[in-house]
C-alpha cells in the first residue's frame, strides 16, 4: 500500500505529530479539563482520566491512525474500503457517518466557546482585567453570556476563521497554522503556573488535582472522565483517522501516538496547575462549570506585572489551539464531500461550515434565553442544550465510536494487516496493544456505560 491520499500528505512524520497534537490540544485541555475536574471533585477524577488515557486512549489512537493510514480516504470511505478488503459487513461505514455527525455537533458548540476566547482577547488587550476584583471579573463574564448577540457575533468570526483554513487544504491551510503555535502555548502555560505558585495557595491546588478522594467521585464522574479521554485526544469520530490517512508510511504509529497523548496530557495538567491555585486563593468555586477559566485566569492577568501583554497573548493562543482542533472536527466531512460529491475544498468547507454555524445557534441561546436544567446520571446540569450536546457527544458518541474502532482493529481486521501497518513485529509490544484493544477497551467502555446509567 504505497498509495497516497488524494487530499495530500504531511511533509514528514513531525508534521503529523504537530497536526495531531494541534487537533488534540484545544479547549478540551484548557477550558474543559479544569472545569469538569472541578465539578467532579478533583484528584479521583483526574486519576480515572489518566488511567483512561493510558489504557484506552493510546491503544485506540493507534487503532484509529492505523485504520486511517490503511484506508487513505475520508473515514466513511475508509471504513467502507477496509470492511470490503477485510471481508466484513458494509455497515461498518456507519462508523464513519456517526463520526461526521459527532464532528458537526461538537464543532457547533466548540465554536461558540472559542468565540468567548476571541472576545477575551479584546478584553485583555484593553486592560479590562487590570486590578479588578474577582467579583467584577465574574460580572464581566456573566454580562457577556447574557447577551446572545455578542456570543453569536464571536461564534460567526470563529467559524469564518475555521472555514478559511479548511478551504486551503492539508498543506497550505492546516500545516502552516500549527507549526509555531503549540510550543508558544506551552511556554505561556508554564508562565501561568509560575504565577499560580506565587498566589500562596499553590499546594492546595496541587492537592485538589492529585490527592484522590474516591468518596467524591460518582459513576457519572467516571463516565465523564472516560468521555473526556476520548474528547481530549480527538478520538472516536474519525479526526485522528483522517489525519492518519495523510501520514507517510514510514512513520511509527505507536511512537507518534504516545507522543501526542503525553503532550496533550501535559497541557491539561499544566492548565489545572495554573487555574486551581487561583480558585482557592480568591475563594472561588471549583465547580463553577464552563465559566471557570474565564473567571479565574483574568484575575491573575489583572494582578501580575505585564498582565495586559500576557493576558492578550494567552487568549490569542487559546484561540489558535481551538482553531487547530476545529479544523480537524470538520475535516472528515469535507474530505467525504470532495471524494463523493466532487466538490472543491472551498465549496465543501463552506457547506459544512455554514451548517455547523447554524447548529451553533442552539448553544448560543443555551447560556441565556433558552437556559434550562436537567439531571444526567444523578448530576444536575444547568446549561440546557449545551450540556445535552456535550453529554451526547463526549460521553456517548465518542466512546461508542472508539469502542467500534477497537472492535474493528482487533477483532475484524486480519492480524496480518494490523501487524503490517503498526510495523512493530509480533512481539510483546504488538501483543500488549492487541490485548488492550481486544479486551480492556471493550469491557472498560461497556462497564462504565452500564454503571453510569445504573444498570450494573
Where along the sequence are the contacts to ligand PFF (CB under 6 A)? 23-24, 26-29, 106, 231-232, 234, 237, 239, 325, 328-329
**3-class SS of residue 376:** strand
* Nearest distance in Å: CB 173, ligand PFF: 16
Residue 141 to residue 143: CA distance in whole angstroms? 5
Of 29 and 162, the one with the shorter C-beta distance to ligand PFF is 29
Report in angstroms how near the CB of residue 328 gets to ligand PFF at its nearest: 5
Q: Smallest distance, Å, CB 163 to ligand PFF?
A: 16
Cβ neighbors of 431 (< 8 A, separation 6 or more) are: none
Q: How many CB atoms lie within 10 A of CB 372?
A: 12
* Residue with Cβ nearer ligand PFF (269 or 299): 269
Distance CA 190, CA 264 (A): 14
311/301 Cα distance (integer angstroms) = 5
Closest CB 11 distance from ligand PFF, rounded Å: 22
- CA-based nearest residue to 336, from 22, 59, 104: 104
- β-pair partners for 374: 381
C-beta of 114 vs 144, nearer to ligand PFF: 114
Residue nearest ligand PFF, Cβ-based = 28
Q: At CA 391, angle to CA 385 and CA 392, rounded to 5?
A: 85
Q: Please state the closest distance from residue 176 (CB atom) to ligand PFF, in A.
A: 19
DSSP string, 181-201: HHHHHHHHHHHHHHHHHTTS-
Name the residue with cell 489518566.
Answer: 50
Residue 399 cell numbers, joined: 466512546
Shortest distance in whole angstroms from residue 401 CB to ligand PFF: 9
Instruction: Tell me if residue 177 falls in helix, strand or coil.
Output: helix
Q: Which is nearer to ligand PFF, 217 or 237 (CB)?
A: 237
Which three cell numbers mark 280?
482557592
Backbone angles phi, psi at 286, to 5 degrees: -60, -25
CA distance 18 to 180: 9
Q: Which C-beta is closer to ligand PFF: that of 29 or that of 296?
A: 29
At 381 the three-state DSSP class reads: strand
Q: Using the minimum distance from each CB to ligand PFF, give the nearer residue, 222 or 322.
A: 322
Return the number of the residue (67 or 134) whose C-beta is nearest ligand PFF: 67
Residue 235 beta carbon to ligand PFF: minimum distance, rounded to whole angstroms: 7
What's the min distance (Å) between Cβ of 27 and ligand PFF? 4
CB 18 within 8 A of CB 178: yes
Q: What is the closest distance, in whole angstroms, from the C-beta atom of residue 96 to ligand PFF in the complex? A: 13
Amino acid at each position: 500500500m504505497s498509495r497516497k491520499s488524494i487530499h495530500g500528505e504531511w511533509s514528514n512524520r513531525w508534521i503529523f505529530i504537530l497536526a495531531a497534537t494541534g487537533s488534540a490540544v484545544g479547549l478540551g485541555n484548557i477550558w474543559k479539563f479544569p472545569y469538569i475536574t472541578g465539578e467532579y471533585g478533583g484528584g479521583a477524577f483526574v486519576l480515572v482520566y489518566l488511567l483512561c488515557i493510558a489504557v484506552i486512549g493510546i491503544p485506540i489512537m493507534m487503532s484509529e491512525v492505523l485504520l486511517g493510514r490503511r484506508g487513505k480516504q475520508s473515514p466513511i470511505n475508509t471504513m467502507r474500503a477496509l470492511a470490503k478488503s477485510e471481508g466484513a459487513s458494509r455497515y461498518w461505514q456507519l462508523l464513519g457517518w456517526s463520526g461526521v455527525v459527532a464532528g458537526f455537533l461538537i464543532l457547533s458548540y466548540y465554536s461558540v466557546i472559542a468565540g468567548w476566547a476571541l472576545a477575551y482577547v479584546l478584553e485583555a488587550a484593553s486592560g479590562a482585567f487590570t486590578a479588578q476584583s474577582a467579583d467584577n471579573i465574574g460580572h464581566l463574564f456573566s454580562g457577556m453570556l447574557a447577551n446572545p448577540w455578542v456570543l453569536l457575533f464571536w461564534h460567526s468570526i470563529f467559524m469564518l476563521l475555521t472555514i478559511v483554513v479548511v478551504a486551503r487544504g492539508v498543506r497550505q491551510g492546516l500545516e502552516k497554522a500549527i507549526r509555531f503555535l503549540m510550543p508558544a502555548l506551552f511556554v505561556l502555560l508554564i508562565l501561568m503556573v509560575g504565577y499560580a505558585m506565587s498566589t500562596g495557595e499553590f499546594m492546595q491546588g496541587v492537592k485538589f488535582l492529585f490527592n484522590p478522594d474516591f468518596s467524591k467521585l460518582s459513576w457519572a464522574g467516571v463516565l465523564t472522565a472516560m468521555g473526556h479521554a476520548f474528547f481530549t485526544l480527538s478520538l472516536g469520530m474519525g479526526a485522528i483517522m483522517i489525519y492518519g490517512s495523510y501520514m507517510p508510511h514510514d512513520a511509527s504509529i505507536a511512537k507518534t501516538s504516545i507522543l501526542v497523548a503525553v503532550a496533550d496530557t501535559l497541557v491539561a495538567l499544566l492548565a489545572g496547575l495554573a487555574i486551581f491555585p487561583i480558585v482557592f486563593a480568591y475563594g472561588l468555586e471549583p465547580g463553577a462549570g464552563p465559566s471557570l477559566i474565564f473567571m479565574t485566569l483574568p484575575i491573575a492577568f489583572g494582578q501580575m506585572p505585564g498582565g495586559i501583554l500576557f493576558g492578550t497573548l494567552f487568549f490569542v493562543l487559546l484561540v489558535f489551539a481551538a482553531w487547530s482542533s476545529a479544523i480537524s472536527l470538520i475535516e472528515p466531512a469535507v474530505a467525504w464531500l470532495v471524494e463523493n460529491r466532487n466538490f472543491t475544498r472551498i465549496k465543501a468547507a463552506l457547506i459544512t461550515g455554514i451548517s455547523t454555524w447554524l447548529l451553533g445557534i442552539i448553544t448560543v441561546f443555551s447560556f441565556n434565553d433558552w437556559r434550562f436544567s436537567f439531571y444526567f446520571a444523578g448530576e444536575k446540569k444547568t446549561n440546557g442544550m449545551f450540556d445535552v450536546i456535550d453529554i451526547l457527544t463526549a460521553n456517548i458518541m465518542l466512546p461508542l465510536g472508539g469502542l467500534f474502532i477497537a472492535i474493528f482493529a482487533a477483532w475484524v481486521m486480519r492480524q496480518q494487516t494490523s501487524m503490517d501497518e503498526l510495523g512493530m513485529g509480533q512481539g510483546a509490544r504488538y501483543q500488549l496493544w492487541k490485548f488492550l484493544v481486544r479486551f480492556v477497551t471493550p469491557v472498560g467502555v461497556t462497564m462504565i456505560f452500564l454503571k453510569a446509567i445504573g444498570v450494573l
